[in-house]
Structure 1
Amino acid sequence: MEENAGTDILPLLNLLKRHKILLMISILTLLLGAFTLILYTWDRGQIAEGVVLEIPLGQLSIQEAQSKLEQLKHEISKRPVHFISDKKSFPISMEELGLTYNYQEPLQQAYLIGREGNFFNKAISKFRASWGITFRPNCQWSDQVLKATLTKHLADLNIPAEDAHFLINPDKTMQIVPEKIGKQVDFDSLIASVKKQSPNHVNPIPIPFQTVKPAITKIDLQNVKENGLLSNYTTSFDPNLKERTLNIKLAAKAIDGMLLKPGEVFSFNETVGPRTAEAGYQEAMIIEGSTFVPGLGGGICQVSSTLYNAVRLASPSLSVVERTRHSLPVTYVPPGQDATVAYPNLDFKFRNDSGSYLLIRSYVNYNTLNLSIYGKAKTQT
């Protein structure tokens, strides 16, 4: 019986021995796994392998990554964008175009990989990153800076439209110079194209243009000529008063060929401009208060008064907006039908109410001044 008892306990002892060995192996495996996990997640101050922020950052310290990214930021800011028009290139750096390039926030996010949560969370995030994870810098464009910079560099490409106009020949006849179509840079579309570009892969950008139509066409001027004379008025002067005669001719020349758009207000002072010696005006008698005194530009009130009477005759196609009488009677128009001017305070203004374009012609003969208005008469209602 004793021999059988010894034989029965031997397998049990062997089983316990095997369990003990397996337990020790399991504990060692767990300890080894834990040690490996600790080593894998050990913070060595480096960014996880597989992290990309414009460039690979794996195994770089945050200081090394900042240094490389700062160098890249500098290179990108100096990188030009090429704007193309008619095979000509206009390079402008991204820095001048107002690109804001910020990598700090995504760099901090990249640095936190493998550093948040427990050992398992750290290990999992670090392992996932090893397969590749990409962060993007924060890039923004300022519409205001873009508009200002593009305007500064590309405004010379704009070609303004030219209105059709009358050319006055030496014999006082007139010919029509046709209009010209203009063009201007479509800055809104150009800004949208810039904002679609990646700072790392900038393609040349064609410059878009918009057509600019002239306000006055050849047909408009032909209609003015066909409509014919609307009104005219003539006054006389003494040609022996040479200074006064010269002033009349200068002011009349400034008005001759003036074209008025429908609804436009004519200003004598804006059209003739300042009466200065540099402009060629000379001293002649003017009315100041209740006396006649010498003054620069004396005599041009005869031009404004002659024009005023032509405007009166063209009513209701024209309506007076601003008019002031002299303080003393003048001899070249009937009493109460004068219009005094003095730059810049006293002006003579009228509005084109005809609904079509009007042309002003001014003729100076030996001793007469004639103001004529051509266009379509306003229909009476």
Structure 2
Amino acid sequence: MPEDHERPDRTESGRDRRADEPTERIQFLSGDLSGSDAPSREAVGEGTAEADAVRWPDDPETAEVDESRRGTKPAITPPHVAGAAADTAESPDTGRTGADGATRHEVPAEDDTERTDTIPRIAEETTAVPLERDAERTDTIPAVAESTETVEPAAPAAFATASPEYSHDATEWIGHQQPHQPQQDPFGVGQQQLGTPGYPPQSPFGDPAEVPDQREDSAGSLFGRRLPPRRSLLRAGLAAGITLGVLVLLYIGDLAFSSGQVPRGTTVAGVDVGGLDPAAAERELRSRLDDSLSEPVRLEVGKASSSIDPTAAGLSMDWDATLDRVGSQPLNPITRLTSFFTTREVAPQSNVDREKLREQLNRVRNDLHRESVEGTIRFEGSEPVPVFPVTGRNVDIERSLDVVVRDWVGGDPVALPYTKEEVRTTESGVRRALERVARPAVSGPVTVNGDGVQATLAPADIASALRFEPNDSGGLDWHIDVPTAKKVVKPQVESTLKEGKDASFVFEDGKPTVEPSETGRGIDWKKTFEPLREKLTQSGSDTIEAVYEDVPAELTTEEAKKLGIEEKVSTFTTGGFSEDSGVNIKRVAQEVDGALVKPGETFSLNGHTGIRQKEQGYIASGIIKDGRPDEAVGGGISQFATTLYNASYLAGMKDVEHREHSYYISRYPMGREATVFQRPDGTSVIDVKFKNVSDSGILIKTAWTSDSVKVTFWGTKQYEVKSETSDKTDVTEPEEKTIPAGEHCIESSGKKGFTVYNTRIRKNIETGEVTKNRRKVVYDPQPIIKCEKKKDEQ
């Protein structure tokens, strides 16, 4: 709209009326719309745009907006215009007198051309401009259209007291802008104010006061200035496009500038190589890392540490793989932007021989490994010393391989992965046991009253008998070790004790008879030491009483008689051993003599004798080792084992365990012989075991001479036994071995090897049941041993 354009008022004579003549206009606007002169639906015209757009309220205090037009800005004709048009349509007169005698000035309706030229321009240039007096509207509307500055209209002081009867005119006032082209409110703000009582506020001159369109604040403001919505969107889009264009140009420039370089912010083992070309990056890495690559790699597990030589561990730097790993320039703009503010650590790549690395880690494992230690209390003499718990550390070698390969470059210590070995006790639990048990327990001696004698447990004796064990609450449980305390007290009360005696078998006139058993008198040591728990931890008397009891024999007279040991069941004799072997054979025969095997029990030769070393009376004698004659303590006992095995074989006992010699020895029956062997600590390796399957007990009696040994089983004969042995088969010739000069050597003529089968036929005397057991025995050929002589002996 051009500046200074004024829209004339229309009078009853059609003459233009200037906005500086307010008198009649005030009278026109202040007329009583509720009276008969108020424009009616008929006056406006049913079905016209004005009638459709406005529902005239029956109550002047309220105004309704047609529900069918909600969501759009209704085109509403102000009542003074609508009324004037209606009056003009009714009568060609230029004026009318109302019921109140006031003169009504009729304004001729605008033709379509005027409305089309005027109103749309205002609608295009501004949004929701309040109606002003004609002179004010002429000046204001162009100003709003041409300026984006926010202007807050100044209202007279009397504005707040405007007449309330026009509060419903908000719809008419707003609708006066464009009756035929309602505009959509993109934000729904203007729609909320339609039909609201008291809006818009009236000026004291009858015109609605200028009210800022609230939609401008919510949608028309951009960069701090109030704009129409379309202009705001256009300017925002233009600004965004320019910004995006600048960013694209910067991105392309940065990508072009850094092409062929290591991505910005990249570090390898703490060395910054970002922005360098690959060759420069390699030079930088070599200059910074080369020296550290040959230094020992420090390994840590908790506070423990050790080191390995990277060369011995098969570790070396793979420069090519490392440079490949740093990667090329990223295309993601976000990644490129963040690279200005962040760093990207790339792990160095290494060549590794995993077997060598595993060997080096196992070598230093003991330096890093820590055994778990449970809390307890030990004693130095009678002084208690707390042992606080320690959580164990067990290095995980397999996981450590990958960790070392990943972290060894750069010189920093490598923290190896490990698993914890938890403990049950706590430090506070150990301290409680120290203060409440250990220290009070050794604060003084304890007296044991026997039958007329006394024994004393000194503090050091108590300390040696105290035992502490972890419990589930982090503390320590404790008890007195009875055997330890008994060892101290028993010698002091020995005179009050009587040893019991088991029933035994003696031979009179070549037959076994039972020698009666005797009941002994002893002390129930467990009951005797039970009161110590209370005595050691509480104040009071430190004296306990010995609890005596009868000690019955393990084998009573009645039990012995019921065993049925009455006759000889079997016997077997071997001989032909050397003198030194005879010493060992006699010694083992002494230990076995008188052994009793009850029905269903299993006898073990190694278990019965226990350790057979010099301390037990055995000497070094000949054995066969790896096919060669040799010597060992206890040599020759295999002859007693063979004799024992044959006695059990002929008695019908069940063979539980036995093994033949590797080479056949001619003084033993083929397929019916045995050997034994045990380690120096008494651990059994090869044994002779049999089970008594008869109804009677078996009493083993032994006898020996200087060159023979005999084993006899006594009991009640239940089986008749026969033995069948096949001829030799699969005979093999011995090989010849020459032992170098200087080595221990005993010459041997060697023996052939062969296979033989032995069958035992056993018949039950009472039932007649016959059982057969066939056994295959393979003997190796014993090599011919020749000893090489030294040159000075030839």
- Please give the TM-score of this superposition, normalised by the length of structure 2: 0.28
Shift of 1:173: 9.0
1:168–1:174: 8 Å Cα contact kept in structure 2? Answer: yes
> AA paired with 2:663?
L
Range moving further from structure 2, 365-374 or 154-163 = 154-163
Q: What's 2:741 paired with?
A: none
Shift of 1:180: 4.4
> 2:656 & 2:461 partners in 1: Cα distance?
49
1:182 to 1:350, Cα distance in 2 relative to 1, 3 A? farther
Q: What's 1:154 paired with?
A: 489
2:502–2:555: 8 Å Cα contact kept in structure 1? Answer: yes
SS at match of 2:572: strand
- Residue number among 541, 546, 554 corresponding to 1:215 in the alignment: 554
Q: What's 2:636 paired with?
A: 299
2:505–2:514: 8 Å Cα contact kept in structure 1? Answer: yes
In the alignment, structure 2 segments of 5+ residues that lack a partner are 1-438, 464-476, 680-684, 719-765, 770-794
Shift of 1:365: 4.0
Q: What's 1:376 paired with?
A: 716
> 1:206 & 1:246 partners in 2: Cα distance?
49
Pairs within 5 Å for 1:235-274 = 235=574, 237-238=575-576, 241-274=578-611
Q: What's 1:322 paired with?
A: 657
- Residue number among 311, 318, 333 corresponding to 2:668 in the alignment: 333
Shift of 1:150: 5.6
- Residue number among 550, 557, 568 corresponding to 1:229 in the alignment: 568
> 2:484 & 2:630 partners in 1: Cα distance?
55
> 1:148 & 1:372 partners in 2: Cα distance?
38
Range moving further from structure 2, 79-88 or 89-98 = 89-98
Range moving further from structure 2, 360-369 or 336-345 = 360-369
> 1:371 & 1:76 partners in 2: Cα distance?
55
Deviation string 1:264-317 (CA, Å, 9 cap, x unpaired) is 432222434555455243423x333444445544432121111111111222xx
1:231–1:374: 8 Å Cα contact kept in structure 2? Answer: yes
Alignment identity in percent?
25
> 1:146 & 1:243 partners in 2: Cα distance?
44
Q: What's 1:133 paired with?
A: none
> AA paired with 2:548?
F
> AA paired with 1:188?
K
- Report which structure shows greater RCO (CA 8 Å, sep ≥6): 1
More helix by share: 1
Provide the aligned length of Structure 1 versus Structure 2.
259
* 1:88 aligned onto 2:423: no
> 1:209 & 1:192 partners in 2: Cα distance?
15
1:155 to 1:328, Cα distance in 2 relative to 1, 3 A? same
SS at match of 1:359: strand
* 1:144 aligned onto 2:479: yes
> AA paired with 2:566?
N
- Residue number among 682, 689, 695 corresponding to 1:349 in the alignment: 689
Deviation string 1:123-166 (CA, Å, 9 cap, x unpaired) is xxxxxxxxxxxxxxxxxxx8724968864653444856443345
Q: What's 1:191 paired with?
A: 530
2:461–2:488: 8 Å Cα contact kept in structure 1? Answer: no
In the alignment, structure 1 segments of 5+ residues that lack a partner are 1-73, 99-141
1:363–1:369: 8 Å Cα contact kept in structure 2? Answer: yes
> AA paired with 2:449?
I
Shift of 1:361: 1.0
1:356 to 1:154, Cα distance in 2 relative to 1, 3 A? farther
Q: What's 2:726 paired with?
A: none
2:572–2:712: 8 Å Cα contact kept in structure 1? Answer: yes
> 2:592 & 2:537 partners in 1: Cα distance?
56
2:517–2:555: 8 Å Cα contact kept in structure 1? Answer: no
Q: What's 2:520 paired with?
A: 181
SS at match of 1:144: strand
SS at match of 1:249: helix
Q: What's 1:358 paired with?
A: 698
1:367 to 1:174, Cα distance in 2 relative to 1, 3 A? farther
Shift of 1:238: 2.8
1:143 to 1:152, Cα distance in 2 relative to 1, 3 A? farther
> 1:365 & 1:270 partners in 2: Cα distance?
25
Greater gyration radius: 2
> 2:658 & 2:698 partners in 1: Cα distance?
20
1:186–1:210: 8 Å Cα contact kept in structure 2? Answer: no
> 1:76 & 1:370 partners in 2: Cα distance?
58
1:146 to 1:327, Cα distance in 2 relative to 1, 3 A? closer
* 1:281 aligned onto 2:619: yes
Shift of 1:184: 2.5
1:75 to 1:368, Cα distance in 2 relative to 1, 3 A? closer
1:302 to 1:77, Cα distance in 2 relative to 1, 3 A? closer
Pairs within 5 Å for 1:30-49 = none
Shift of 1:346: 1.4
Pairs within 5 Å for 1:155-170 = 155-156=490-491, 157=493, 161-166=500-505
SS at match of 1:321: strand
How large is the RMSD of aligned CA atoms in angstroms? 4.5
2:479–2:533: 8 Å Cα contact kept in structure 1? Answer: no
2:448–2:545: 8 Å Cα contact kept in structure 1? Answer: yes
- Please give the TM-score of this superposition, normalised by the length of structure 1: 0.53
1:147–1:191: 8 Å Cα contact kept in structure 2? Answer: no
1:313 to 1:199, Cα distance in 2 relative to 1, 3 A? same
> 2:485 & 2:501 partners in 1: Cα distance?
24
> 2:589 & 2:696 partners in 1: Cα distance?
23
Q: What's 2:294 paired with?
A: none
1:203 to 1:337, Cα distance in 2 relative to 1, 3 A? closer
1:353 to 1:203, Cα distance in 2 relative to 1, 3 A? same
Shift of 1:371: 1.0
1:196 to 1:369, Cα distance in 2 relative to 1, 3 A? closer
> AA paired with 1:84?
N
